[in-house]
Amino acid sequence: MTKHLQDAIGQTPIVELTRLDLPERVRLFAKLEYLNPGGSIKDRIVRYIIDDAEQRGALRAGGTIVENTSGNTGAAIAMLAATRGYRAILTMPDKVSREKQDTLRALGAEIIVCPTAASPGSPDHYVDTARRLHAERPGSFMLNQYDNPLNAEAHFRTTGPEIWRVLKNQIAAFVAAGSTGGTISGTGRYLRSQKSEIRTVLVDPIGSIYHSYFHRGVVDPSMIGTYHVEGIGEDHLAECMDFSALTDVIQVEDGDAFATCRDLARKEGLLCGGSSGANVWGCLQVAKTLRAPATIVTVLPDSGVKYMSKIYNDDWLIANGFGEPTTPGLISRCPSVGSLQSKRV
């Protein structure tokens, strides 16, 4: 029996996706990380880092946690802060969905919204804002998720082993997007320690620097741009991202990620966020390169409930240049009351 909320973190189910367009004898499995109690894969790293901080005395009773987040890490922090009596101050870019912002406030966190377009190193950038707030509050604790090696270690010790116990030697590839790099680095490193032939493929949105850095070894400022998928890609190199754990990096467009989200909902019954769509889209690309039989595994980091005003909102998609949604089965608008005709039975 689970005694504490944090004990429900991890051991999420793995399901096979069977209705997507995969090559013959290539199987695709997804770990449902949105079933963690805080609603995302970030519960794992937040618990791991906070536990370590408490053990070292870096975080004391009644203390304040300051962190930059795209929403999911913030939700995990707010959740655990509420159960352990901490104050949470969270910074985030303004592209973060309203649902995520409202969730953090509901959990008692203070949030500071920063412009997405702010460049790294500027005082308005959400990472630099968090660092400044941390420095201004003696005794506060910052997870520093982008550069903290415990981020990847949490996945090396939990996510990777959980996947391996279920799928073992049949795994040919692990595919995942990343921002801090913790998931792909830690999980990929563990899986490759069990079977070195496993491919670990990072899915990177256009506008992020990871693709060009992996393939050309340089950070090209001209490649940095804005994109709509939340929680993946980056405009600076996160120290947590271990490029030696990767075998390839491929690029994804917003529209492909969002279209795949809708496919997951209508074909697999899985309502997921944009990073999940990017991950599964990446799996479908990698599947074309594998020699069958082969098995691919990925993670679905968070739920689509957090993006109903964006990914699953037709008006938002059209307004942001993604065209008319083609997903069948969408609810049509009801006619006015006056236009309805009653029928006798």
Q: What is the CATH number of domain 5-35+152-316?
A: 3.40.50.1100
Task: Please state, in angstroms and as integers, the Cα–Cα distance from residue 21 to each residue in 169, 280, 291, following that order.
Answer: 24, 11, 16
pLDDT digits 0-9 by tens, 123-151: 899 989 999 999 999 999 999 999 999 99
What band does 2 get if pLDDT is binned at 50, 70 and 90? low
pLDDT in tens, 67-80: 998 889 999 999 99
Q: How confident is the model at residue 57 (pLDDT cuts 50, 70, 90)?
A: very high
| Structure confidence by residue, pLDDT tens digits, 143-182 | 999 999 999 999 999 999 999 999 999 999 999 999 999 9
Rounded CA separation 136/133 (Å): 5
| Residue-level pLDDT at 341 | 40
The answer to whether the beta carbons of residues 151 and 117 sit under 8 Å apart is no
| Residue 192: how many other CB atoms lie within 10 Å | 19
Rg from Cα positions in the chain: 21
Alpha carbon distance 50, 193 (integer Å): 26
> Which amino acid, one-letter code, is at 42?
K
42-142 has the same fold as 5-35+152-316: yes
Residue 43 belongs to what H/E stretch? helix 42-56
Band of pLDDT at residue 326, cut at 50, 70 and 90: low
Per-residue pLDDT, 96: 86
Pick the CATH number of 42-142 from 3.40.50.1100, 3.40.50.300, 3.40.50.1370, 3.20.20.450: 3.40.50.1100
pTM here is 0.90
pLDDT at 97: 85
Residue 332 pLDDT > 70, yes or no?
no
User: What percent of the chain is predicted at pLDDT more than 90?
Assistant: 84
Helix (H) or strand (E) holding 335: none
Residues 293-316 have pLDDT tens digits of: 999 999 999 999 999 999 999 999
In the sheet with 171-177, reading across from the earlier edge strand, the strands are 14-17, 26-32, 294-300, 171-177, 199-205, 248-252
Instruction: Tell me which residue of 262, 290, 257 sits closest to 26, measured CA to CA.
Output: 290
What is the arithmetic mean of pLDDT over 320-335? 58
What DSSP state is assigned to residue 337?
Answer: G
| In the chain, domain spans | 5-35+152-316, 42-142
- Catalytic positions are 42
Nearest-angstrom CA–CA distance, 245 and 69: 24
Structure confidence by residue, pLDDT tens digits, 251-294: 999 999 999 999 999 999 999 999 999 999 999 999 999 999 99
Neighbours of 5 (CB within 10 A): 16
Region label for 110, one of left (φ > 0), alpha (ψ between -120 and 50) or beta (otherwise): beta
End-to-end CA distance of the chain: 54
Tokens for 201, please give them.
């493929």
